Structure 1
């Protein structure tokens, strides 16, 4: 060793829980107590076999058959009860075969019923003999049945634990899949926006290259145009597959905007009241207000997912969709979208009435992810009238 620090290696001791130690020591203590109470402290074969029957319980879990054989000898010669019953119970709990358990129960019954020695014993049909036989059968069958019950209980406990862990893993996978799906959809939309902007840059650079008379400026404009084209090609090569998922032309359709909300509400099959004047314009005839494309798409997707949830969980409910602009203080103003629905209509879906709305599924998780990626806010809470409220705010970039 060098330096002032000295590492001291300590032996590792395996921690034995108090419960496990008690489960191991208590049967042995009962067997020893039974041996001394039945045979006293006088040395002899019955006492030695009884003590051996108690001590062999230390290995009953590793060798239940050997523990049962030794304890049965102690029962037959030393007249003890606890050790052989515990050994048979352990055998029934740790062995899957039925034949070995039945054989153990029959052996315990005979060891308890037959006296030692057999020199002057003759079987009779008297009342006492029948009662002794029934008592022996109850001891053998009871220990075997209790061991089987313990085995079944342990298997059910393990099964419940496995099912619980499996459900937790499935829930985590579903949540991750929901986030991944939403991010993939954002990537498709970002691809459309970036491709459009880079295309404009390329066109402007090409126009500048044609109209510029200075050779150096023309060369720079050409370089910008070439870089824009190369960037567009690489972008389409990397994330173009995310556009449609299957290579169809559906992904090339224009992305929805706030102005498409009335059509979405009409196609939803719900009773939807729209209040969009604060977001679309100041009134009839006024020019439409323009928002960033990502903000409008996020607002549209929020309303779309909210209406889908209403159809699934509260069919027939009245829905109010409000889109407005709110002042966020020192930060940029927020485009807020609130979707509030009432309870389900019993006439439309009687089987849903009386069941509470869920606290939020993976669709809501995706909406929250979208809002957070844009720097906005999201909330989904039940209302006092039995309905649900989804509220989202998206920064518009305007002060």
Structure 2
């Protein structure tokens, strides 16, 4: 793509004035003070052509009447044609130039030729054509500028239309997702909560009642979050909705207690860590405990979270499984998501088996204090 290079405004004005002075120097003799004054006035008045084009043309017209130096008048006529839409005004200025250029002004009395002589007709036609050239060129430049502005407006309108179309498609997808979450996921979670509540009431085993109570509490909490997410998705067309409060380090203890796993939590972190780091630590511990429940039932876990030399370390270690794991569905995206989150924050996530047959998940994040 090529870009047009133009002279800066002041440099172009200086060049036009210099060309006009050269025209005066060629056509006007120093011994003619009146003509010389008219030529100099016309040349230096071109500095006003951008802001006062009509006044500039009026100041340059006398030099056409008394001299053969017409460059300044033509430049002023071009500047006027670029900046005005009044066609009758431009026609009048062109006629004024033609009359001035074809009139022989001998001070103190002008001389007018016979308008019906062939030479006079040729001179008038030539002068009129000379005046028409800057007028047509100026109007062409004006039309080009207006066309460029229209093209920019059309491009912006099309870009806005594409944005609206994309937002409309996204809103439809969100509405469909909201319906699926409401009709399928919320219904199934509600059934889990109801069955867990029934088991809690009917069971006489304290351990079973406690497990059922935990399942019911987690199901109810999950159902509330799902309902809030459905409202967020449905409100996407009318404007942004308030998101659910994000977890922090203060929620770790409750997360461990509700996990249903025998776990030992030890934290040594300042309370002024960035919110993104706190969420990453919480989600890492949450994912690790979920994997322990799924893949190592009956195992115990140890959670160690500490802050050393500007780096947060979160290590979750579990013992070997106490009984065979039940086959549960999963997309195997948990660790991938944790690694991606850590990389975005400049950290790392490592995971692997321990020598005793257990498993260890280690998160390292750079975490300068916010204070």
User: In the alignment, which residue of structure 2 is the partner of 1:103?
Assistant: 92
Separation in 1, partners of 2:144, 2:12 = 17
Structure 1 counterpart of 2:188: 197
Q: Is the 8 A contact 1:64 1:90 kept in 2?
A: yes
Computed over aligned residues only, the root mean square deviation of the Cα atoms, in angstroms, reads 3.6
Q: Does 1:90 align with 2:79?
A: yes
The aligned runs of 1:149-188 (5 Å cut-off) are 149-188=140-179
The correspondence of residues 1-399 of structure 1 with structure 2, limited to 5 A, is 18-42=7-31, 44-117=33-106, 119=109, 121-124=111-114, 125-213=116-204, 218=209, 221=212, 225=216, 228-229=219-220, 232=223, 235-236=226-227, 239=230
User: Any unmatched runs of 5+ in structure 1?
Assistant: 1-15, 246-330, 335-371, 376-399
Distance 1:237 1:161 in 2: 42
CA shift in 2, pair 1:25/1:171, >3 Å: farther
CA distance in 2, matches of 1:37, 1:228: 97
* Structure 1 residues 134-161: Cα deviation after superposition (integer angstroms, max 9, x where no partner): 1221122222222212211211121112
Whole-angstrom CA distance in 2 between matches of 1:333 and 1:211:
36
Q: Given that residues 181 and 230 in structure 2 are in contact (C-alpha distance below 8 angstroms), is that contact kept between their aligned partners in structure 1?
A: no
Partners of 1:213 and 1:42 in 2: how far apart? 126
Q: Match for residue 316 of structure 2?
A: none
Q: Radius of gyration: which is bigger?
A: 2
Contact 1:53 1:70 survives alignment (8 Å): yes
| Distance (whole Å) between structure 2 residues aligned to residue 130 and residue 51 of structure 1 | 30
Tell me how far 1:233 sits from its aligned partner: 5.8
Change (3 A) 1:98 1:17: closer
Deviations 1:230-284 (A, max 9, x none): 75367446626968x9xxxxxxxxxxxxxxxxxxxxxxxxxxxxxxxxxxxxxxx
Task: State the secondary structure of the residue aligned to 2:106.
Answer: coil
Contact in 2 for aligned 1:188/1:242 (Cα 8 Å): no
How far did 1:194 drift?
2.9
The SS at the match of 1:213 is coil
Whole-angstrom distance in 1 between the partners of 2:229 and 2:170: 20
Q: Please, what TM-score do these two structures have when normalized by structure 1?
A: 0.51
Query: How big is the shift at 1:223?
Result: 7.2
Normalised TM-score (structure 2): 0.54
Q: What SS is found at the alignment partner of 2:111?
A: coil
Instruction: Report the CA distance shift for 1:190/1:53 in structure 2 as closer, same or farther (over 3 A).
Output: same
Q: How many residues align?
A: 236
The alpha carbon displacement at 1:112 in A equals: 0.7
**2:169 aligns to what SS in structure 1?**
helix
The 8 Å contact of residues 76 and 115 in structure 1, kept in 2 or not, is answered as: yes
Deviation at 1:205, TM superposition (A): 1.3
User: Structure 2 CA distance, aligned partners of 1:104 and 1:122?
Assistant: 20
Q: 1:201 to 1:88 in 2, by over 3 A?
A: same
1:270 corresponds to: none
8 A Cα contact 1:35 1:47, kept in partner = yes
Q: Aligned to 1:116, what secondary structure does the other structure show? A: strand
Give the drift of 1:21: 4.5
Alpha-carbon distance between aligned partners in 2 of 1:62 and 1:202, rounded to the nearest angstrom? 78
Partners of 1:42 and 1:171 in 2: CA distance: 70
